Amino acid sequence: MINNQKDVLMDLVINNKHISIRAGGGRCLLDFLREDLSLMGTKEGCGEGECGSCTVLLDGKAVLSCMTPMERAIGREVTTIEGVGRPGNLHPLQQAMMEEGGVQCGFCTPGMIMSGVELLNRKSNPNRDEIVEGISGNLCRCTGYRKIITAIERAAEKMS
Amino acid sequence: MSDTQEIIEIKFADHRGYVPIGSSVIREDALAKVTGQAEYSGDISRPGMLHGKVLMSPFPHALVKHIDTSKAARMQGVHAVLTAKDIPGENVFGIAIADQQVLADKKVRFVGEPVALVAAEDPFIAAEAVRSIKVEYEPLQGVFDPLAGIKEDAPRVQEQGNILLHTKVRKGDYLKGFADADVVVENVYRTHGQDHVPLEPEGGIAWIENDGVLTIYSSSQYVFRDRKQVARVLNLPVNRVRSVNTTVGGGFGRKDDVTVEILVSLLASATLKPVRLVYNRHESMMTQTHRHPTITRVRTGATKEGKLTSMEGVVYGDTGPYSSLGIFVIKKMALHLGGPYYFPNYKCDSISVYTNNPIAGAFRGFGIFQSAIVHEQQMDELAAKLGIDPLEFRLKNCLREGLSFSTGQVMNEACGIAATLERLKEYMAEHSLRFSRNMEVV
Amino acid sequence: MMYKTYHVAQSIEEALSLLLKSVDRKVRFIAGGTDLMLQLRERIVEADMLVDISVIPEMKQISQDGSKISIGAVVSYSEMRQSDLLKKNGFLLVEASKLIGATQIQNMGTIGGNIGNASPAGDILPCLYALDAEIALQSADKKRSMPLRRFITGYRQLDLQPGELISGISFEALQPGMGSSFVKFGARQAQAISIVSVAAVLQVQAGKISRVAIALGSVAPTIVRSSSAEELLLSEQPSPDLFEKAGEAARDDISPIDDIRGSAAFRRYITQPLVSQALETAWRRTQKQI
C-alpha cells in the first residue's frame, strides 16, 4: 500500500532536461511533478479538470496534469512553468503578465501562462476572441481576465 | 510637450517622494508568481512530513453515537487518528463567537463537519485510513431554512436556540413615514448562497520547533487571530504558537476565520512530526464558509414628488450551524438595507439564524451585496411607479453631507454618491444612453 | 495509488491480449483519461491495470474510403477540430469538438471516450446519431460493427462484450447540398456540460428538404432522434417558420429530467429555439457545401 515502491522508471524530458528516475507509479502527472521533482509551480485548484491551474505542456500540447497518468509522460517532453522562463530570462508572456497586472493572488498564473504559451506557439498573432477561447479552460477569481487577455496581446506583439 | 503631459507633471509635483501614486507599478510578488516560485500553503514541505486528512460528516444533523478508529490506527503508515476526545484544550473556535467545535463531539450540524483526523505517511494511506473509520450516527431532524429555524418547535441546531442575533435599527417614525407616502413598494427578496472558490483551497503545515514552539504556515487572512484560536484548542500559551502566512491564493473572506490551522496543529502535536493538510476542492466547498443566503421582506414609501419617506424591512440570514463572521454580516444588513439613500424614517430588523446548511461567513461585500439587490430594486420600482427617471429619483434621495444614515450618523465626509450619479448622468448624455421602461440602459 | 500498473499498448492486438491475460484483475483501457482519471480519484471506478490505447496508430486516424469517413477511437477533439476531411465531410463534428471543454480537454479527450462514457450530455454523440454513424468493435477473435444508436443501450450503458474494444466510428460523408450544425446550451460557452444540445443534418434538393436528421442531447437517458421534427420537415420547403415548428415538434420526443444543471421544464423550453437555430445554420450551410 505504501507508495514507496519506486516501481516505475520515469524516463522523460522535463523542461528541456532529460531525466531518468524511479518513482512510485499509479498517480497523476501533477503529483509526480510536485512530489517527486519538487516542481511546485504547477498547482491543483480543483483536481477534476475544471480550473486549468495544473496545465502543463505534453509534447507541446496543453494538458491537465491532474487528469494525466504520470506514466503517460514517459518518453515524452513535459514543460512546466519552471521551464517557460526564469528571473532574468523571462518569457515575453511572463513579463507582460507582470507589467499589465495580469497577476493578483497568482494561483491561476502558472496554468494561465501555460495556456497562453501554447496559444502563442500555435498562433503568432491571435485576436481577442482567439485569446479568450485559448484561456477559457483556466479560471481566475481575482483579475476578471481583462488584464490577462491584454498581457497575451502584448506578448504576441513583442514576439512578432 | 502636449497639454496633457504638462497637467500630469503638475499633478505629480504634489506627490514628490511618493513615486507609486499615479504611476503603474509592478507588484512586489509578481516575479515569483509568474515563474512559479511563489510558495503557497501546499507547496511547503519539511523532512519527515506527514499528510493530514479529515473525516467529514455525511449528515446535516445527527448524533454521534460511536466512533471506531481502531482499524485506521492499526494501518501501516498511519501515525495518528484523532477525535474530539483527543483535544488537549477547549474543543471550540470561531472568529467572532466561539461556537464551533473543532471535531464533532456529541453531534454533527452540517454535511462536511470534521469528525476525525488522520496523519499518515502518504496521502493515499491517509485517505484509506479515513475511509476505514466507522462512525455510528443517529440522524436528527434538521433546519434548512431560516424561516423554519425561527419557529418555536423547530429542531435546535445550537442548544441555546436558533437565533444567533437579532439587530434592530430604528430612526424616526416609520408608520408616519408610510402615512405620508403616496406610493409604497413592497417585495420579498431571496439571495442565494455562494462559494468564494479561492483558486487555492485552504491548506497549511505545522510542526514543533526545537524550542517547543508550535509553528504553523498557512494560507490565511488573519494570522494573529489564528494563533490565539490554535492556542486555546491546544491548551498552549499564545506565545508558544507561531503563525506565519504563506502566499495566499485568494481568500475573499473565506480565509478570515481559521481553516486548517487548528487541525494541522493537533496532528503535529500528536505525532511530533510536521503535518501538512490541504483540502481538495470538494472538501473545501463542503467544510468552509460561504456567502449568506438571505430572505428579505421590505416596503418602501415615497411622495409623488419623489421623496423617500420610510423604509421597513426584515432580513433573515441563513448563517449555517456556526457563527463564523455571520453575526456581523447579517447585522450589517439591518444598517445598510436602505443603501446610500436618505430615509427620514427607518425601521429594519435583521435576524441571523442557525441552520444545518453550509456555514456562512465573511465574503467580499459583507452583507452589502445582499442589501444592494434589495434597495436598488426598490428604487427602480418606486421610480417606475412615480414615472420619474430612475437616475433622477436616486439623485433626489441620495445621501449628501448633512443628511443622516439609517443609524442617525450624519454624513460629513466621504459621501460621494451624488457626485458619482452626476457623473453617470453626464456619461449617459455624452453617449446618448437612457433607461428604458424596464430599467435597461438603451 | 489510483491504479497499480500501467501499460502502453502499441497495437489493438496488444491491447486486447493485455485484457485477456488479466482476466482476474480489474483492467481499464485509458484514452484521454478526462473521465476515467476523475472516476479513479473519486473511487467510482477501481482498476489494477490501465492499458493506454492513446498511441495506437490505426486508432489515431481520420480517413476516407470512398464515401465512408472513419475516425479512430482515440482521435482527440483537437485533431477533429483541425481535420480538413471533417471540415469538408462532417462539419458538425468540428463544431462540436470546438465546444467541448476548452483547449486542454480538447487536447486530451477522444471521440471513443465520449462514446464509451455514453452520457446523454456527451457532445459528440448527437452529431454521430445525426450522421447515422456505425461503431466498429474489436475483440481478440472477431470484429463487428453496428449502428451507434443500437450500441448505446441506456444511460451510460453499452452493448460492449467482455474482451471488446471500441476501435472507431464511421459514417457516410456529407455530400454537396447537405449542411450540418451542432448547437449547445450550457452555463457558459467553454467548459460547460450541455443542458441541451442539438445536432442537425439537412439536405435540400429542388427547393425541398430531401434528407433531415435531428439528434438531441441531455434530454433523455440517451441521445434522441426527433422523428416528429424530421417527419414534419421532410419534403417541405425550408423556412425559418418551418424550423420553429420543427422545434415545437421536437419537444414531443424528449423526456428531460430535473438536475443540477437545469430543470425539465427549462430543457423542454430551450429545445425549441435550439432545434430551430441548428436547422437554420444547417440550411445556410447547404448553400456552402459543408
**Nearest CB neighbour to B34, from listed A1, A94, A140:** A94
Instruction: Pick the residue from chain A with its C-alpha nearest to B200.
Output: A45
Beta bridge mates, B62 = B108, B139
Dihedral angle over CA of A31, A36, A41, A45, nearest 10: 20
Backbone angles phi, psi at B9, to 5 degrees: -65, -40
What's the pLDDT tens digit per position in A129-150?
Answer: 999 999 999 999 999 999 999 9
What is the torsional sign of CA A84, A89, A91, A96?
A: positive
Distance between CA B217 and CA B230 in Å, rounded?
13
Cβ separation A25–C6 shorter than 8 A: yes
Place of cell 504558537: B241
Distance between CA B275 and CA B55 in Å, rounded?
16
**Nearest CB neighbour to B125, from listed A2, A34, A51:** A2
Q: Which structural domain, as residue segments, surrounds residue A44?
A: 7-83
* Residue A2 within any structural domain of the chain: no
- State whether A60 and A104 are in the same domain: no
Predicted pLDDT of residue B19? 65
| Mean pLDDT estimate for chain C | 95
Distance between CA B145 and CA B59 in Å, rounded?
16
User: Which candidate, C105, A147, C46, C66, places its Cα nearest to that of B128?
Assistant: C46
Q: For the structural domain made of B146-194+290-430, what CATH number should be given?
A: 3.30.365.10
A71 part of contact set with chain C, CB < 8 Å: yes
Contacts of C76 (CB under 8 A, 6+ apart): C32, C106, C107, C108, C109, C110, C111
* Residue A119 within any structural domain of the chain: yes
Distance between CA A70 and CA A34 in Å, rounded?
11
Distance from CA of A55 to the nearest CA of B (A): 12
- State whether A79 and A100 are in the same domain: no
Identify the chains in contact with A, defined as 3+ C-beta pairs within 8 A. Answer: B, C
Q: Could you give the residue ranges of the DSSP H alpha helices within B45-87?
A: 70-74
Distance between CA C188 and CA B263 in Å, rounded?
37
Distance from CA of B13 to the nearest CA of A (A): 24
Task: Write out the three cell numbers for C84.
Answer: 480538413
Task: Write out the three cell numbers for B204.
Answer: 497549511
CB-neighbour burial class of residue A115 (10 A; exposed 0-12, middle 13-18, buried 19+) = buried
Cα–chain-centroid distance for residue B283? Answer: 17
User: Which candidate, B88, B425, B351, places its Cα nearest to that of B236?
Assistant: B88
Distance between CA C75 and CA C79 in Å, rounded?
6
Select from A48, A83, A118 the last residue of a domain.
A83
**Nearest CB neighbour to A139, from listed B27, B199, B248:** B199
- State whether A13 and A79 are in the same domain: yes
- State whether A99 and A140 are in the same domain: yes
Distance between CA A135 and CA A113 in Å, rounded?
9
* Residue A35 within any structural domain of the chain: yes
Cβ separation C52–A69 shorter than 8 A: yes
3-class secondary structure, C220: coil
Cβ separation C105–A52 shorter than 8 A: no
Predicted pLDDT of residue B413? 85
Backbone angles phi, psi at C20, to 5 degrees: -65, -40
3-class secondary structure, C120: coil
> Within a 13 Å sphere around the CA of B198, how many CA atoms are in the beta-carbon half?
31
* Residue A140 within any structural domain of the chain: yes
Predicted pLDDT of residue A4? 55
Choosing among A5, A38, A107, A148, which should be mutated to test the B contact, i.e. which has the most B CBs within 10 A? Answer: A107
- State whether A126 and A67 are in the same domain: no
Cβ neighbours of A64 in C, within 8 Å: 34, 104-105, 108
- State whether A115 and A144 are in the same domain: yes
Q: How confident is the model at residue A2 (pLDDT cuts 50, 70, 90)?
A: very low
Distance between CA C169 and CA C77 in Å, rounded?
14
B93 and B173 in contact (C-beta within 8 Å)? Answer: no
User: Which candidate, B373, B440, B406, B380, places its Cα nearest to that of B189?
Assistant: B373
Percentage above 90 pLDDT, chain A:
96
Average pLDDT of A3-16? 88
A134 part of contact set with chain C, CB < 8 Å: yes
Cβ separation C108–A68 shorter than 8 A: yes
Select from A51, A83, A115 the last residue of a domain.
A83
What's the pLDDT tens digit per position in A108-133?
Answer: 999 999 999 999 999 999 999 999 99
**Nearest CB neighbour to C105, from listed A8, A119, A137:** A137
User: Which candidate, B111, B116, B135, B113, places its Cα nearest to that of B60?
Assistant: B111
Q: What is the DSSP string of chain A?
A: --S----EEEEEEETTEEEEEEE--SSBHHHIIIIIS--TTS--SSSSSSS-TTEEEETTEEEEGGGSBGGGGTTSEEE-GGGT-BTTB--HHHHHHHHHT--SS-SSHHHHHHHHHHHHHH-SS--HHHHHHHTTT---SSS-SHHHHHHHHHHHHHH-
| Mean pLDDT estimate for chain A | 95
- State whether A70 and A118 are in the same domain: no
The segments of chain C whose pLDDT lies below 50 read 290
Total tally of structural domains belonging to chain A: 2
A68 part of contact set with chain C, CB < 8 Å: yes
B247 part of contact set with chain A, CB < 8 Å: yes
Select from A83, A110, A144 the last residue of a domain.
A83
Predicted pLDDT of residue A1? 38
Cβ neighbours of A86 in B, within 8 Å: 35
The segments of chain B whose pLDDT lies below 70 read 1-20, 437
CATH of the domain at A146: 1.10.150.120
- State whether A79 and A97 are in the same domain: no
Instruction: Pick the residue from chain A with its C-alpha nearest to C79.
Output: A61
- State whether A99 and A148 are in the same domain: yes
- State whether A97 and A58 are in the same domain: no
Q: What number of C-beta contacts closer than 8 Å exist between A and C?
A: 90
Backbone angles phi, psi at A102, to 5 degrees: -80, 0
Beta bridge mates, C211 = C203
Cβ separation B36–A99 shorter than 8 A: no
Cβ separation C38–A49 shorter than 8 A: yes
Predicted pLDDT of residue C177? 86
User: Which candidate, C80, C117, C84, places its Cα nearest to that of C98?
Assistant: C80
* Residue A101 within any structural domain of the chain: yes
- State whether A77 and A110 are in the same domain: no
- State whether A96 and A125 are in the same domain: yes
Cβ neighbours of C102 in A, within 8 Å: 52, 133, 136-138
* Residue A59 within any structural domain of the chain: yes
